[in-house]
């Protein structure tokens, strides 16, 4: 397993915030879906902080474990 650090910048206008929620699409869910397409494995990401609905981010740090080495 390899640990990866990802630094994000995003426009949160259309999202319910960072954390996965039942009432809409979150940044976390969108990122995990994209990583699953890239790696062909289920990936869970962990953030150093969170944002609320509609909030933008610049320099948000997350990490994940992926079997594949890039």
Task: Please list the active-site residues.
Answer: 52
Strand order in the sheet with 57-66: 2-10, 57-66, 45-47
- Cβ-based neighbours of 3, under 8 Å, separated by 6 or more: 63, 64, 65
């Amino acid at each position: 397993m390899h640990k990866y650090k990802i630094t994000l910048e995003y426009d949160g206008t259309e999202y319910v915030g960072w954390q996965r929620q039942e009432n809409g699409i979150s940044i976390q869910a969108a990122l995990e879906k994209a990583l699953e397409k890239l790696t062909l494995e289920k990936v869970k990401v962990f953030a150093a902080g969170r944002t609320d609905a509609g909030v933008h981010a610049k320099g948000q740090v997350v990490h994940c474990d992926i079997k594949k080495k890039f």
